[in-house]
Amino acid sequence: MSTQRSGTFVSNNYRMKKLLVINASARTDRSKSRLLTETFVDRWKNIHTNPIISFRELGTADIPHINEKWITASFKPGAARTSEDIEVLKTSDTYIAELRAADIIVLGSPMYNWSIPSTLKAYIDHVIRFNETWKPNLNNPANPYTGLLENKTLVLLLSRGSSGYEEGEANAHMNFQSTYLKTVFNIIGISNIHMIAINGVSEDKEKLERSINTSIRDVQQLIEKSLIEKELV
């Protein structure tokens, strides 16, 4: 049983969904992907009394790259790991624990060079981890991976200087941003994915204004129409 009062969601059978908000833009104040993640968080806070929200900053942080020691340690069985292996995997363990704890992952990312920022790629290398977020599924050549993260929703909030990157559009063949993100999160078990993008950040001002307004409206509608309804248990 649920009611909507003055913009606040009230339910007798309510389990608060936990948010993890990840930002990957190297820009701060002028970032359009951050504008969308901030819009998401503001709207979420407006309609939840005590929201549970964690943040993971990538765009302005020094994200370590995985290296040979990391690879050796990550493919060893847990019991065989040395104290050095355990230390090397600490960042990865932290990032994966944050993903596991979240019900909804809100990821803000720019398109850089038709793909994603290298900080986000470095993060992805830490979270796509053997026997932690995926395991082999050799019986199925069409999809040889089993994702180990369950019951999660991913919200991709993207920004791009140009436009026409969606399927069937002129620049779709150059889109290694949303296509890549959807593929890798699918592999670790997250297939419930929503995407909202601001396009044309470097193009015509009026067109950009329209894209921003549409995206902000889409973020609000996504929360109200899809994410909140799914909170009923």
Considering only the C-alpha atoms of the chain, give the largest distance between any 2 of them, rounded to a whole number of Å: 59
127-112-152-19 Cα dihedral, nearest 10 degrees? 100
User: Shortest gap between Cβ of 32 and ligand FMN (angstroms)?
Assistant: 4
The gap from C-alpha 215 to its chain's centroid, in whole angstroms, comes to: 16
105 and 95 Cβ atoms separated by less than 8 Å: no
Q: Name the DSSP class of 78.
A: G
Nearer to ligand FMN, 25 or 74 (CB): 25
Nearer to ligand FMN, 92 or 159 (CB): 159
Q: Rounded CA gap, 39 and 219, in Å?
A: 7
Could you tell me the two tokens for 13?
């059978």
- For tokens 């993260």, the residue is 149
User: What are the start-end ranges of the E strands in the chain?
Assistant: 2-5, 8-11, 18-23, 52-57, 104-110, 134-136, 145-147, 153-159, 192-198
User: Shortest gap between Cβ of 23 and ligand FMN (angstroms)?
Assistant: 8
Nearer to ligand FMN, 26 or 53 (CB): 26
Nearer to ligand FMN, 24 or 188 (CB): 24
User: Shortest gap between Cβ of 118 and ligand FMN (angstroms)?
Assistant: 10
Nearer to ligand FMN, 14 or 176 (CB): 176
User: Shortest gap between Cβ of 107 and ligand FMN (angstroms)?
Assistant: 12
User: Shortest gap between Cβ of 223 and ligand FMN (angstroms)?
Assistant: 20
Encoded amino acid at 25, one letter: S
User: Shortest gap between Cβ of 64 and ligand FMN (angstroms)?
Assistant: 21
Which residues of the chain form contacts with ligand FMN (CB under 6 A)? Answer: 25, 27, 31-34, 110-114, 159-162, 201-202
Residue 9's CB is within 10 A of a number of other CB atoms, namely 19
Nearer to ligand FMN, 20 or 212 (CB): 212
